[in-house]
Amino acid sequence: MLHGKRILLIISGGIAAYKCLELIRRLREQGAAVRCVLTRAATEFVTPLSVSALSGDKVYGDIFSLTDEHEMGHIQLSRDADLLVVAPATANILARMAQGICDDLATTALLATDKPVMAVPAMNVRMWEHAAMAANAATLRERGIIFVGPDDGDMACGEFGPGRMAEPAAVVEAICDHFSAHARLSGKRALVTSGPTHEAIDPVRYIANRSSGKQGHAIAAALARLGADTTLVTGPTVEPDPAGVSVNHVESARDMLAACKAALPADIAVCAAAVADWRPAEEAAQKIKKNGEAPAISMVENPDILKTLGNSGNDRPRLVIGFAAETGDVVAKAQPKLVAKGCDWVLANDVSPGTGTFGGEVNTIHLIHGAGVEDWPEMTKTEVAEKLAARIADHIQETA
């Protein structure tokens, strides 16, 4: 149920921290990727080694670790997740969250995040019922923090009442319910193309372009996180396969077109791949040897995958989106493609030298559709993907 979802679990210092070991195990059984942050107090109850062994990932805790900040800074740590879960959420960490205090990695990640946050309180009944705690909880709920529990039950201190941390199974159920409610593309099929294509000249040489596949892969992952049954058709790239996505690796434009046709029918098609426009008319069976003269290579046009999908008759996806990688006056050059390719939206971006778009981490998008042009600010490619996926979900729901 949680396949492909990324959970950042923040474990604070309370006796109920031991329950988080079972929580991690259950989340991973449901297919979630779990990354953990331990407060200093949490390490008095569970060890980083046990948490790391169960999560299968590095455990984070020290905001001043230069290695951690270089490899995974607190901003990225908080935003790479689909959901942040604070469990156990002690009175201390809830108070710091309410006041916006960030004096360690856990609270800094919570303040820096733009993703949903779920809190699983665990504390003495008198602490939970204290007016200060009630005010903090009310403040956090007003900000959209999701609370799970606390339950009534026996406390480690010997008292009885509300304050007991919800059981791991109940927390997992709440997490599943959260994602189900936000799975806006559940039941929809999405097709995404990504990366370059390689068009063979001979067994060792090929024609290609500078596309890294970062943007296409990010879009496939974002659509999957919204619940879409997503197929990614990707040319050669070093980008890892996105979690929760069916991936088809191809080489040439003709291979990519065949894989896209096989993935139909689909509700959504996003053609983010930078497909080579031409290919050698004939691929040499043997390596072409140097003889003092440059070989004459006759070129033929590759199939237009976006145009094929945009004009695929009964199999045409409800929403067909193309990318237009241009240099100079990108919007004017991209606008005619809306009609020429038979697509619904075109995302134009500038790949001129110096922009760093090809192979880089950021992108600047101009969304062209029937109603006009939307100029998006420069964003990371992950942010572009999230924004595009949300727009797609809006469109699908509005036109249902």
pLDDT, tens digit, 9 for 90 and up, residues 268-310: 999 999 999 999 999 999 999 998 888 899 999 999 999 999 9
Q: Which single residue is written with the structure tokens 């109850």?
A: 45
Look at residue 352 in the predicted model and tell me its pLDDT. 77
Alpha-carbon distances of 260 from 174, 198, 256, 305, rounded to whole Å? 36, 17, 6, 8
Q: Which of 45-54, 66-75, 284-293 has the least mean pLDDT?
A: 66-75
Look at residue 153 in the predicted model and tell me its pLDDT. 75
Average pLDDT, the chain: 90
Give the model's confidence band at 65: pLDDT under 50 very low, under 70 low, under 90 confident, else very high: low
pLDDT, tens digit, 9 for 90 and up, residues 23-34: 999 999 998 999
Q: Which single residue is written with the structure tokens 């156990």?
A: 88
Give CA–CA dist 184/377, Å, rounded. 25
157 is catalytic: yes
pLDDT, tens digit, 9 for 90 and up, residues 177-226: 888 777 789 889 999 999 999 999 999 999 998 899 999 999 998 898 88
3 state DSSP class of 300: strand
Domains delineated in the chain: 6-182 (3.40.50.1950), 189-398 (3.40.50.10300)
Q: Which of 3-12, 258-267, 346-355 has the least mean pLDDT?
A: 346-355
pLDDT, tens digit, 9 for 90 and up, residues 121-168: 999 888 999 999 999 999 999 888 999 989 887 766 667 778 889 999
DSSP characters over 320-333:
EEEEEEESSSHHHH
- Claim: this prediction has a pTM higher than 0.85: no
**From 36, 157, 260, 271, the catalytic residue:** 157
Amino acid letter for position 218:
A
Look at residue 347 in the predicted model and tell me its pLDDT. 96
DSSP one-letter code for 187:
T
Look at residue 67 in the predicted model and tell me its pLDDT. 58
Give the mean pLDDT of 59-66: 75
